[in-house]
């Protein structure tokens, strides 16, 4: 597609660019990052991180080896709705405050510097762990798809080497500039759409039968019947709730659109639309290909007994080998690009938090390369942290649970603060505005967070509870012991005006002109 995103080009005038920069200056920040992402590129980065061909496949066992086909037919749209509730509430805030590291600023502006600091740390941990979860999931997929041919033995060392190689390559691409990253994430958006349709058509074409009643039929595959994915329970309802981790984990990461606000043209309009669009289209196309998987399964009991291997087992049972290999290669590329987009998101969060002095080493982490216009130190720091986290907690299900809890907690804090501030201290809305309906979506988000926390800490993911508690205790100690008096938070009021000279100097340092 044509690149119409630079100032003076079709669809994005110099006036548009000046307006974007003016909004950013009004919040006390310089235009250091390169603003060239179109609305589609902003959509594509969230769509790529959601990547239904990643979470929808790698976490499939959590649904099918729980209650069978109903986890897809009923559970998937329910889980997508839950994620979508958060997206709508966040879209309203993102339109009013379109900055990199968006959630951190929302938490600060709608609450105070303490709530902003907490939001930043929750979101940062969530982004680091989601990068780990995505790339560990990519390893699991690579092992299932190509491991036998390559003689891989599924050892921890193999996983660690794989993590280092692909995460470092994703960081390098991000290092080299947003133009290259945007081109690849744009391609990823098309690949996910076409790949999911191709997968669905192939599975429907070779399905041995067409029993659509599977999509609303509940079974109990807990314990040995589901290869131990979930411990044995007699409650099918509880098992169904646990299976919601499949869609809820898959349909996350849309905050990436907010994190790249300062690189997106007409951000106050395009960012909220991209966030909601990425959830909607991921939900639709994800449901399409997952329904095809359920229909193509030769025998549901045998499939559930495969546990985490159910996707590969199904493809091996019904698809010709050449077609299967083409699809597996396309899915692997999509999963790799999913990790690439996540590196972008986590690095912008680190950059935004650091320019307000929120992290150790902030003076280094906030620097933007004048050559590539990217936060180089933030890119590599986030990538290294993700590798270290997965080295400590290699179990995929635990990583997923921790990711879901921290990300959605970071979503919930500013949403709840927005509910309290709505039409009180928060009266200036952005151009994308749902009015009083924000309160409804905010309340639903808070209720959904309670459900997510409960299902996220159930066995075998009990470590997620202790990691969450440990982090919150440590956060309280650091905040009250050190940061409360030191950390100033984002600029507010008169402080914004005082930054005018520093803003001009920062923009000149990276070659930004207006």
pLDDT in tens, 207-252: 999 999 999 999 999 999 999 999 999 999 999 999 999 999 899 8
pLDDT in tens, 144-176: 999 989 999 888 899 999 999 999 999 999 999
Using 50, 70 and 90 to split pLDDT, how confident is the model at 283?
very high
pLDDT in tens, 65-120: 999 999 999 999 999 999 999 999 999 999 999 887 778 889 988 999 999 999 99
Q: What is the pLDDT of residue 234?
A: 94
pLDDT in tens, 401-448: 888 899 999 999 999 999 999 999 999 899 999 999 999 999 999 999
Q: How far apart are CA 191 and CA 51, in angstroms?
A: 10
Q: What is the mean pLDDT of residues 260-275?
A: 92
178 with 263: CB under 8 angstroms? yes
Beta-bridged to residue 60, according to DSSP, are none
Under 8 Å CB-to-CB from 384, ≥6 apart: which residues? none
Going by the DSSP 8-state scheme, the letter that residue 230 receives in this structure is S
Using 50, 70 and 90 to split pLDDT, how confident is the model at 13?
confident
Whole-number mean pLDDT of the chain?
90
Q: What is the pLDDT of residue 459?
A: 79
Q: What is the pLDDT of residue 1?
A: 37
Under 8 Å CB-to-CB from 45, ≥6 apart: which residues? 37, 182, 185, 256, 257, 260, 341, 344, 345
pLDDT in tens, 315-358: 999 999 999 999 999 999 999 999 999 999 999 999 989 988 88
pLDDT in tens, 32-74: 888 888 899 999 999 998 999 998 998 899 999 999 999 999 9
Q: Is residue 229 classed as helix, strand or coil in its secondary structure?
A: coil
Q: Is the pLDDT of residue 202 over 80?
A: yes
Q: What is the pLDDT of residue 272?
A: 96
- Residue where the block lists tokens 């589901």: 226
Using 50, 70 and 90 to split pLDDT, how confident is the model at 491?
confident
- Torsion sign, CA atoms 28, 33, 38, 42: negative
Among the listed residues 506, 413, 465, 326, the one whose alpha carbon sits nearest the alpha carbon of residue 105: 413
Q: What is the pLDDT of residue 395?
A: 63
Q: How far apart are CA 96 and CA 9, in angstroms?
A: 26
CA distances from 88 to 141, 149, 359, 437, 440 (A): 31, 44, 29, 10, 10
Q: Is the pLDDT of residue 389 over 70?
A: yes
Beta-bridged to residue 267, according to DSSP, are none
386 with 102: CB under 8 angstroms? no
Using 50, 70 and 90 to split pLDDT, how confident is the model at 4?
very low
Q: How far apart are CA 303 and CA 305, in angstroms?
A: 5
- Residue where the block lists tokens 């988000």: 445
Q: Report angle CA 115, 256, 100 to the nearest 5 degrees.
A: 60
Report the percentage of the chain scoring pLDDT > 90: 65
Q: What is the pLDDT of residue 67?
A: 96
Q: What is the pLDDT of residue 191?
A: 95
Tokens of 319: 């698809």
DSSP string, 421-486: HBTTTB----SS--TTHHHHHHHHHHHHHHHHHHHHTSTT-HHHHHHHHHHHHHHHHHIIIIIHHH
* 5 against 310, higher pLDDT: 310
């Amino acid at each position: 597609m044509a690149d119409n995103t630079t100032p003076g080009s079709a669809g994005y005038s110099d006036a548009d660019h000046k307006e974007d920069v003016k909004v950013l200056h009004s919040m006390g920040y310089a235009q250091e990052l390169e603003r060239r992402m179109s609305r589609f590129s902003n959509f594509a980065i969230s769509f790529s991180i959601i990547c239904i061909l990643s979470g929808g496949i790698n976490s499939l066992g959590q649904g099918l080896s729980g209650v069978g086909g109903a986890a897809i037919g009923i559970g998937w749209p329910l889980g997508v709705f839950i994620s979508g509730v958060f997206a709508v509430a966040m879209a309203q805030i993102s339109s009013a405050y379109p900055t990199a590291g968006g959630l951190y600023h929302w938490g600060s502006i709608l609450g105070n510097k303490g709530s902003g600091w907490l939001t930043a740390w929750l979101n940062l941990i969530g982004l680091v762990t989601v990068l780990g979860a995505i790339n560990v999931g990519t390893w699991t997929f690579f092992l299932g798809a190509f491991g036998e041919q390559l003689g891989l033995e599924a050892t921890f060392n193999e996983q660690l080497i794989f993590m280092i190689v692909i995460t470092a390559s994703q960081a390098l691409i991000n290092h080299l500039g947003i133009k290259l990253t945007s081109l690849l994430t744009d391609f990823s958006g098309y690949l996910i759409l076409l790949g999911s349709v191709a997968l669905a058509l192939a599975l429907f074409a070779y399905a041995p039968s067409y029993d659509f009643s599977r999509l609303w039929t509940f079974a109990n595959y807990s314990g040995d019947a589901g290869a131990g994915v979930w411990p044995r329970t007699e409650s099918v309802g509880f098992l169904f709730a646990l299976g919601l981790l499949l869609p809820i984990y898959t349909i996350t990461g849309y905050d990436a659109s907010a994190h790249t606000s300062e690189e997106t043209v007409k951000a106050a309009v395009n960012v909220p639309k991209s966030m909601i669009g990425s959830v909607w289209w991921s939900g639709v196309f994800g449901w399409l290909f997952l329904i095809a998987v359920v229909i193509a399964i030769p025998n549901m009991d045998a499939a559930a007994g495969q546990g985490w291997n159910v996707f590969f087992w199904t493809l091996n049972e019904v698809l010709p080998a050449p077609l299967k290999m083409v699809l597996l290669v396309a899915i692997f590329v999509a999963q790799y690009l999913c990790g690439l987009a996540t590196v972008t998101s986590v690095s912008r969060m680190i950059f935004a938090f650091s320019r307000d002095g929120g992290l150790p080493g902030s003076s280094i982490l906030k620097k933007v390369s004048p050559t590539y216009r990217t936060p180089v130190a933030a890119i590599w720091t986030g990538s290294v942290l993700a590798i270290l986290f997965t080295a400590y907690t290699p179990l995929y299900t635990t990583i997923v649970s921790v990711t879901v809890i921290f990300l959605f907690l970071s979503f919930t804090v500013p949403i709840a603060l927005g509910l309290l501030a709505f039409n009180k201290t928060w009266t200036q809305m952005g151009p994308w505005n749902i009015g009083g309906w924000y309160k409804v979506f905010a309340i639903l988000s808070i209720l959904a967070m309670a459900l997510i926390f409960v299902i996220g800490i159930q066995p075998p993911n009990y470590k997620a509870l202790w990691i969450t508690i440990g982090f919150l205790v440590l956060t309280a100690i650091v905040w009250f012991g050190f940061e409360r008096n030191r950390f100033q938070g984002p600029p507010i009021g008169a402080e914004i005006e005082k930054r005018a000279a520093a803003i001009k100097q920062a923009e000149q340092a990276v070659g930004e002109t207006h």
